[in-house]
Structure 1
Amino acid sequence: MTYEELIERLDPTVYKSLRRAVELGKWPDGRPISGEQRSICMEAVIYYENRHDLPEAERVGYIDRERKKDRAESAGDDASPLRILN
């Protein structure tokens, strides 16, 4: 079985578990995930999302640029820098 075939047959529950492991840095049983494992899981998650045509807003790494733009516009010109006093 090739890597692509494995990802195509990946159960949605397993996909969610891999995604959660990448997000938290640990497996569901609490053991830490190594850097190599995290990299492999992230690759599998991204491939799964592309292969199963998940909406862009639900994919890993999505940045809602419109929301950021709306916030900047609503701040207007009256925004002033924050000063921290010691």
Structure 2
Amino acid sequence: MDVQQILAAMTPEVYQKLLAAAETGKWADGTPLTDAQKESTMQAVMLYQSRHNTEAEHMTVAAGGEIRFKSKSELKRDFAIEDSEAPVAEIARFSLQQN
């Protein structure tokens, strides 16, 4: 099977499973990837991204095969709270008292 056939047969669901395996180093059932599987999985993920990723995130392969890096300001803008008037919930508050 050549690269074009692999990409044509790869569904978004298969891509997501391969991406998760590449990120965690394990298959969905918890089995660790071998070194050869890690390499093949990364190649498949990058090839899929190069064909289908029209909105590349920080450090991904954009459509056309171009590696896309977002600047710090782009990332901050992407993750900014849209409504700055909205109250921000506190996660935790700690008191540092020395005895």
Aligned length: 70
Could you tell me the TM-score, scaled by structure 2's length?
Answer: 0.58
Could you tell me the TM-score, scaled by structure 1's length?
Answer: 0.66
More strand by share: 2
8 Å Cα contact 1:8-1:48 kept in structure 2: no
RMSD in angstroms over aligned alpha carbons?
A: 2.6
Percentage identity across paired residues of the two chains: 30
Gaps of 5+ in 2: 62-66, 77-99
Give, in whole Å, the separation in 1 of the partners of 2:4 and 2:13.
18
Give, in whole Å, the separation in 2 of the partners of 1:62 and 1:35.
26
The structural deviation recorded for 1:62 is 5.5
Structure with more relative contact order (C-alpha pairs < 8 Å, separation 6 or more):
1
Counterpart residue number, 1:73: none
Counterpart residue number, 1:66: 72
Instruction: Please state if 1:6 is matched with 2:12.
Output: no
